[in-house]
Amino acid sequence: MSSKTYRVKEAFYTLQGEGAQAGRPSVFCRFSKCNLWNGREDSREQAICDFCDTDFIGIDGQNGGRYLAQELTDLLIRLWPDMSKGQPYVVCTGGEPLLQLDEALIEAMHNAGFEVGVETNGTLAAPPGIDWLCVSPKGKSEVVVSQCDELKLVYPQTDAMPQRFSAIKAAHRYLQPMADFRPAILASDSHAAAREGLSADNTKAAVEYCLQNPQWKLSLQTHKFLGID
């Protein structure tokens, strides 16, 4: 057995809020670190991805820590209510999960009975075995993944407009309105769609784009409307 450890910011059970699997009970495994931003507010402006809505630094969140593949899988099993009910589903996210997720961990998750979903920025090669791959391109970064289950583009992004990704093969193409992410603005705006940063302007623009380009569908971050993790 490998002694490789995985650094996990947090792990929790909730409903997938976004994309084609929205509404599906899911264990989220949020890996630490990203290759497109160091996660510090003071360097957001210089980051390749500058609109991230997530804290992925360190291992100090709910159920966070350093885990061996089997230890992490055991944690995910504990978070699923009953492995005999439904099709257990884990969403590997982050940070950027493909900095850490490898075949050995996917195999451990599969052996436990999980279907494995991944949310990635698409800049790193994906290991084999992933059951549901969601690619979400960021700014000027180069997407190396050429095929996925869903392309979920945050909209609008000046350097990553939908036309740029027409060559990527995807069963589903979604635009997801960019939510605000700046802590100061979220704190000062009593609306900011119940403080989750949901943007009426970006939603309206995404709706318009989908209506005029019907190969694209709208993805809303439903967990933010619901006030769940």
Ligand X SMILES: C[S@@+](CC[C@H](N)C(=O)[O-])C[C@H]1O[C@@H](n2cnc3c(N)ncnc32)[C@H](O)[C@@H]1O
Ligand Y SMILES: Nc1nc2[nH]cc(C(=O)O)c2c(=O)[nH]1
- Near ligand Y in 56-95, by CB under 6 A: 93
Gyration radius of the chain's alpha carbons: 17
Closest C-alpha among 120, 71, 70, 76 to residue 99:
120
Closest C-alpha among 15, 10, 16 to residue 29:
10
Minimum CB distance to ligand SF4 smaller for 52 or for 220: 52
Q: Is 95 annotated as a binding residue?
A: yes
Structure tokens at 92: 């590997």
Pick from 16, 21, 26, 93 the residue near ligand X by CB under 6 A: 93
17 lies in the site for ligand Y, by CB under 6 A: yes
136 lies in the site for ligand Y, by CB under 6 A: no
Tell me which residues are annotated as active site.
28, 34, 49, 52-54, 119, 223
155 lies in the site for ligand SF4, by CB under 6 A: no
Q: Which does 149 bind (CB under 5 to 8 A by kind): ligand Y, ligand X, ligand SF4, none?
A: none
Q: Which does 37 bind (CB under 5 to 8 A by kind): ligand Y, ligand X, ligand SF4, none?
A: ligand SF4
54 lies in the site for ligand Y, by CB under 6 A: yes
Long-range Cβ contact pairs of 150-156 (< 8 A, separation 24 or more): 150/19, 150/20, 150/174, 152/18, 152/19, 152/119, 152/176, 152/219, 154/51, 154/178, 155/202, 155/205, 155/206, 155/209, 156/202, 156/205, 156/206
Minimum distance from residue 154 beta carbon to ligand SF4 (Å): 8
49 lies in the site for ligand SF4, by CB under 6 A: yes
- Near ligand SF4 in 95-124, by CB under 6 A: 95-96, 121
Q: Is 136 annotated as a binding residue?
A: yes
Find tokens 């969403």 and name the residue: 91
Measured CA to CA, the distance from residue 91 to residue 133 in angstroms comes to 10
DSSP H helices in 10-165:
69-79, 103-112
208 lies in the site for ligand Y, by CB under 6 A: no
Binding site for ligand SF4 (CB under 6 A): 34, 36-37, 49, 52, 54, 56, 94-96, 121, 138
